[in-house]
Structure formats: structure tokens, C-alpha cells
A and B are shown apart, each in its own frame.
Chain A
Amino acid sequence: MSTPAKEFLHSAAVKSADLAHRSTIRTGIDHYEAAVMRTGARFLDWEAAREQCRAVKWEAVNHLDKYLLEFESRVQDRGGHVFWAETAADARRYISELAARKDVRTVVKSKSMVSEEIDLRQDLEKQGVKVFETDLGELIVQLRDEPPYHLMTPAMHLTRTEIADLFREKYGGVESNDPQHLVDIARRALRDAFFSAEMGITGANFLVADSGMVALTTNEGNGRLGSSLPRIHVVVTGIEKVIPRMQDLAVLWPTLARSAVGQSIACYNTLIGGPRNAKEADGPEEFHVVLLDNGRSELLADAEQREVLHCIRCGACLNVCPVFRKIGGHSYGTVYGGPIGSVLMPHLGGLNKFQHLSFASSLCGACTEACPVKIDLHHHLLQNRRNAVESAERPFGERLAFKLWRWMMMAPKRFAVLGGAARAGLRAVHALGLEGTRLDPLRPWTKTHAPPAIPAESFRSQWRKIATK
């Protein structure tokens, strides 16, 4: 019976060996790193920027009720609706019922991880609503019927040639694999949808409490069109996205842009406060914000790991992760992948089911270093591992092994005996030519490594000889 852990192991093994895939990822990441480096020059003090962003999110999350209530009240003052959804099902139901009530036949949707988390698109499609993904990366994976690969660049696992072939098949008129040309094709293909859709669905990067506005960052303009043209605009967001003041965006916007894409600032940083007002030339007649809990309030109660809710979903941790660079985004098999996903999924989806993600890391710390809001990601991975052990979710054999390890390490004589036995054992294995076979105790190692050179004697015994000289 397949479990997420088994599927992960399988997929990770396959992708790790896929050199073409590794090369595509490496190329994308190199572009990203170069851009991040260039943008670094814009900051007198990058560490201060990170610290300020952390402080903003700390204040928001540690007073979450206060700021959510302020946000809600101001959104309502502006004529918008706020719906608090405890579960994914509650969120889906609200939006489906709204779509049904308002005769919505077409939806244009811009990128929203939360909408993936709750399987929104599939739910709407079941009731006969046509849903267009308008973010280019999301559009591409929608056409390929696969999940997004990366939370910032959903199609980074594909080369321009593969995308050109896809567009040729779905749209026609493809003359080259030049990215500019491919973007033009996508633009033309989605134009009609933007102008005819009754409902636009977007995510939110930040919920600004002091002004009752939703901050939405995009580069393409799809979120702009989706929140301007259709008569209903729905925002789906996690409850943790709130920030206290609009002024906080002065540091958040540039910091997010650098970490996410290596830009000075994103092309469109939009603030939406409610439906159009009477004096405005255009805009939606209705505005709904769906606030999703779905396990976040439980994570909030875990004071040690509460800061995981500070995440602004920039994707930097994925880009710098050496494991991600080998296994790719699909191997995680979860909405949220990479380091943030490995920390978050045991909380949102269950420790037993997703603990393997927290173990699948060499704890190199690159993620923690890259995080623009200074989440101690790799320390949280360690805490998840401890939680897994303490709730007895680990295999019996492993628990026994570590009890034995502790026993042996508590006395130097036992430690020395262990060392001696290990050396003798390895020599025997080598002498009998058993390396790499089932009888090799180091088989997981020797399958992929040449066997280690076995020291003739321990340091302890060398030291004794020198010390007595």
C-alpha cells in the first residue's frame, strides 16, 4: 500500500538520477542567484531589511485576532464581505455557492497557493464552471494536467522547447520556442477569458489591517485584470497573511521581490479595498475575502513553531535547497514543498503522514539563511523530528538502535569497543568481498560510495602511545 513516504522515496530516487532534470533546474536557479546578487546592491543593510520584515510578521501573528478583526471591520466599511472558513470544505462551499447564486460560468484565476491547498479549481469545474489559470506558469501546468512544481515558478521544470510543444498542441500558431513569442501566445489565448469572466479569483500576499486592503503582487498583470474586469472578485487567503500597517509594505515589497525573483520590486503591487465605489469608472460590484484556517490556528498555538506562520511564500528556501535542486518540486507530493513545505506539512497535514519530509534534509541551513523573514527553518525541521520520536511515530528498530547507541556512548570503554568492533567488522566484510551485497552492514552506504579506508588503529590508542613517550 502506497503511502506519501513511500511515494516520496520513489520519486526522489527517480528525480535524483535524472540528469536532464537536474540540469534544467540548475539553469533556472543560476539565473535566479545572479538576479538576487545584483539586487543585493540596492540594500545598504540586507540583514536589517530581514529583521524589520521579521518584526512586522511577529507583531501581526502574535496579535492575530486583533489585526484580523481590524482588517475585517475595514473591509466591511468599504462594502466588502469577509468569510471565515475553518476547513478547506467550508471555503470551497462558500465560493461554489456564490458562483452558483451569481450565475458564474467562467472564472479567471491568478496564482494562489491557498486555492491549490483547498482544491478549489477542481471543485468549481465539477459544477460546470470553466476556470482559466491566468498565471503563465499555472496555465502551463494546468494544460499538462499536473500540479505546480514550485510555489513561485510553477513550470520551472520545463524547458522553452517543451512549453513551445505544449502550446503548439493546445493553441497552434507557434513559430519558435523564443520565450517572448510564447508569452504572446498565452496573452492572446487568455484575453477573451479576462473580458468575459463573471468572477475573478486571486490570492493575497498581505492583508493590510489599518486600511482594510488586500495587497496583491504580480508581474504579469493577470491579477490586475482579474480584479478589475469581472463583476465579482474573490480573494482566498490564509489567516496568517495579515500585517498591521500599509507603511510596513515599504520594506516588505522590496524584500519579497528580491527573495522571490531577484527583482528590485515586482511590476504590479496592487492594493484592493472592496468593490468599486460610486465615483469610479469601473471595477467589480462585489468583493469577498475568504479567510482560511485549515490547521493554521493549531500551529499558532505551538509557541515554539508559531513563526512558521510568518512565511510570505517567496520560494527562496526552495531555490537554495540542495535537496530541492536534486529531487524537484513534484517529488514532495504536497501543495507546499521545499523546506517550508517540509516544516509546514506535518502541521497542516498530520505528523505521521508527512514526517518523512522533515527527515529528508541534510540540515545544511541554506533555507534559514535565505528566508527574508528569518524563520529558523532547519531548526524547525529538527523540532518536527523530535516531535515524531516523542509521539512514538518512529519504527521500533530505530528506537532500539538509538537506545543502544546511548548506552554505548555513555562509557568510553564501550565506545572504544564499538569502534574496535566496527573496524574489525569492516575489515572482515572487505576481506570476504561482501561490499555492496546483502551481507554488507554498510550496504546503504556502499551502494553509492567506494568503501571507506579503515584506520589501522583508533586515535585513542595512538594518543596513548604518544602521551607515554
Chain B
Amino acid sequence: MARVLERIGYAIDFPEAQTCCGQPGFNSGYWREARALAERFVGVFRDADFVVCPSGSCTTMVRVFYKELLEGAAREAATNLSSRVFEFSEFLVKVAKITDVGANFPHRVTYHDACHALRELHLRDEPRELLRHVKNLELVEMPYSEECCGFGGTFSTKFPMISAAMGETKAANAGAANVEYVTSTDPSCLMHIDGILRSRKSAVRTIHLASILAQSELSDGNTSPAVTKNSP
């Protein structure tokens, strides 16, 4: 993600103070613990022009759920930050207004609609637009692409059989689409789908959307000369 952003002309900082947005605790009902992390997160990123995140679920946590979790001044600060927090594909298409990042990925690929990105951030077209502009990439839709893969955070360890069954259905649908890769905006979905695919000895692999977009025509992975732009 960092490579792509630099390639299109953004200056990036990775504040090392960051740890976790607090979602695992929040989703498990430990709102007091999560609250502490949320307040910390807002502090760490307070002065950023933009916060870009390669995960729909973390982005959702900040933009949608911090409002429910925090109160008073913390809530105000979070709401203020929210307008500057974006999922990666969303940032490219809606903020940077770029759909072609100069990527090249000569493979048959299908897109899995990660739940938070789809239903909380309302991203359906943006990732697909980006993929359509990748040279030599053949984008194919798989059946039930919008159905949950079954990861759900601690759900996968509390109810492993249900989670695995949901993952199997996702893996089977990817297989039915006859693709080489499944991609998505969310690393957690991909990790789950990947584990299921490999346990079924499937030839289908997973790859994060950012990794596809980072693949350029220069074979050694170096970024092409950056178009210098003042960081907006």
C-alpha cells in the first residue's frame, strides 16, 4: 500500500506509536478495554491529513464504531478524525481520484466483498474499478461474492465449525469461478480463505488488493519515478 501511495505522489508517514484500533475487544464485548485503545488511536493519528488503512474492518471500527464506543471530548475528536480516515481502495478512488495506478498483474482474479467494506463503508465498485484498470488482469465475478467468508474475528475460534463451513463455501465459489487468485480489501478475510483453500489443496491463492496494485511493469518491484505532487 505504501508503495502505491508513493507511486501516485503521496508522502507517507507510519507513526510507530500505533498499535491496534481496538476492534477485537470491541467485538467481543470488552468495550472498556477497547475504549482505552480507541482513545489512544485517536491521539496517535490526530494530526494526520489522511489516515489510510489496508483493511475495511479497521477503517469501519474507527469511522463507524468509535462513535458508539466513546463519549464526550473523545467522541468529538474521533468524529473529527473520522472524516480523514479511509480504506485504501476508497482513498485511491474517492480522494486521490485515481483508478489506474500503473499496475500490471497478468492473472485471472476474483474479488471477495469483505463485509465491513461492503456494508459499513459502502464500497463495492471502487475495488473493482481499480482491478479493472490493472493491465492484463482478468476480473471475474464468483457466485455469492457478497456472502460472508466466515472469519468474523473471535467468531472463528469460538464457533470454528460454522466459520470453517462458511469459509468452505467461499473457497468452493472461488473454485467455481476458475480463478488463480482471490483478492479483497481485508487481510483477515484473506488469511481465513487462504487457510481453507490450502487445506483443500486448491490451486487458488489469495492476495491483498494492495499487493496487486503494487505490482508494476518494472520487474524488480521498484516504484516508477514518482510524479511529484504536493501532498494534499
Point out residues on A near B: beta carbons under 8 Å: 9, 12-13, 16-17, 22, 322-323, 325-327, 359-366, 368-369, 379, 382, 384-390, 394, 398-399, 402-403, 405-406, 409-412, 415, 444-445, 447-452, 459-460, 463, 466-467
A57 and B27 alpha carbons, distance in the complex (Å): 28
Output the nearest chain B residue to A394 by Cβ-Cβ distance. B29
Chain B, interface SS category:
helix
User: Are A322 and B150 interface neighbours, CB within 8 A?
Assistant: yes
User: Are A411 and B115 interface neighbours, CB within 8 A?
Assistant: no
Residues in B with CB closer than 8 Å to A359 are 155, 158-159
User: Which residue of the partner chain, among A9, A22, A360, A365, contacts B119 with CB atoms under 8 Å?
Assistant: A365
Residues in A with CB closer than 8 Å to B14 are 459-460, 463, 467
- B 15-31 contacts with A by CB, 8 A: 16-20, 22, 24-31
A15 and B161 alpha carbons, distance in the complex (Å): 9
Interface residues on B, range: 35 or more
User: Are A448 and B163 interface neighbours, CB within 8 A?
Assistant: yes
Shortest CB-to-CB span from A321 to chain B, Å, is 9
Shortest CB-to-CB span from A300 to chain B, Å, is 21
Residues in A with CB closer than 8 Å to B36 are 406, 410
Residues in B with CB closer than 8 Å to A451 are 195
Point out residues on B near A: beta carbons under 8 Å: 2, 14, 16-20, 22, 24-31, 33-34, 36-37, 40, 68, 115-116, 119-120, 146-148, 150-153, 155-167, 169, 191-192, 194-199
Shortest CB-to-CB span from A441 to chain B, Å, is 11
User: Which residue of the partner chain, among B119, B148, B162, B197, contacts A368 with CB atoms under 8 Å?
Assistant: B119
Shortest CB-to-CB span from A362 to chain B, Å, is 3
16 A-B pairs in the complex with CB atoms less than 8 angstroms apart: A13-B162, A322-B169, A361-B152, A362-B166, A364-B115, A382-B29, A389-B29, A390-B29, A402-B30, A403-B33, A405-B24, A406-B36, A445-B156, A449-B194, A452-B194, A460-B14
Shortest CB-to-CB span from B203 to chain A, Å, is 13
16 further A-B pairs in the complex, CB-CB below 8 A; given A363-B152, A405-B24, A467-B14: A359-B155, A364-B119, A366-B146, A382-B29, A385-B29, A390-B31, A402-B25, A402-B28, A405-B33, A410-B19, A410-B36, A445-B156, A448-B167, A448-B195, A448-B199, A449-B195
